[in-house]
Amino acid sequence: MSYSIIIPHKNIPQLLQRCLDSIPQREDIQIIVIDDNSSPEVVDFAHFPGKERCDVEIVFTQKGRGAGYARNEGLKRAKGKWLLFADTDDFFLPNFLDALDAYCDTDYDLVTFRAESADCDTLKPVPSRQGYYGVYEKIGEGMDVDFLKYRNDVPWAKMVSARLVQEHSICFDETPAANDVMFSAYVDYYARKATACSTSIYCATVRQDSLQYAPVLRNLLARVTVACRLNRFLHRIGRKDKYIYSYSWVVRCRKYFGRQGYFKALSIWLCHECWENIYKTFSDLLKAKFRR
């Protein structure tokens, strides 16, 4: 088996069908759909997307524990040499398998591709959600891609060696949001041979009611925690040059949920962030205040 494509799903069957339709049927492709306790009022389980395809394995869970849990269930069942991940509301671009096949028999641990973006409903192109999207235009074979490490904290538009994930027991966080950040960081850390390709293989859509964009306090607090965890990890491995501005998530909690959200987020941030980042953030905030 060459590829295992893992897709978590909850309550958007039409978009799941679109995602599945973007993947051609081939004998060396395993597609694993993990339904995270969808509602029978929304999903027709008798005609669940993918049931008619012999290359799709559907797992129905009753846990309702989020995309991280669903992806981990997919990892347990993956048989391919390479792991790929897709969000249900996204889809693969035409001829994406040509790009994958070019690297299938290599000994890379990680191959990163370009991703486009579009409005989920209209499919009108929008700026790419992929970090450092413009850099991919300049990437050539054999180029040092270390500068991309710890920046592209999503699992999609990547080929990840299944051996690497199994060898180091890498899994997704089972958090309400940002479940993929530490997975991506650990893959970047353990990948000893990685490359990037300028070919676009994936479309990461923008959907306003998705987990990425809908302002829910529990999700934003989870993002605060994960951002701090990432910075502590980067501190531990000596990659302070890759720190992210974790305080921005605290600011978002204040923006959407006022003082109550702000103090909850601030307490998490103060408990989990590196002290040097806390000091620098407050120093910068004070300097900016006095410059006004």
Mean pLDDT across 252-261: 94
Q: Over the stretch 160-189, which tens digit does the pLDDT of each residue have?
A: 999 999 999 999 999 999 999 999 999 999
Distance CA 285, CA 245 (A): 12
Find out whether 108 and 196 touch, Cβ atoms under 8 Å.
no
Confidence of residue 237 (pLDDT cuts 50, 70, 90): very high
Q: How far apart are the first and last CA of the chain?
A: 61
Mean pLDDT across 49-64: 93
Distance CA 199, CA 159 (A): 13
State the Cα torsion 16-19-24-29 to the nearest 10°: -70
Mean pLDDT across 25-42: 96
Domain ranges of the chain: 3-203, 217-291
Distance CA 74, CA 57 (A): 10
Task: Give the global pTM.
Answer: 0.93
Average pLDDT, the chain: 92
Specify whether domain 3-203 bears CATH 3.90.550.10. yes
The values of phi and psi at residue 83, to 5°, are -105, 135
Its sign, for the CA torsion 164, 179, 144, 277, is: negative
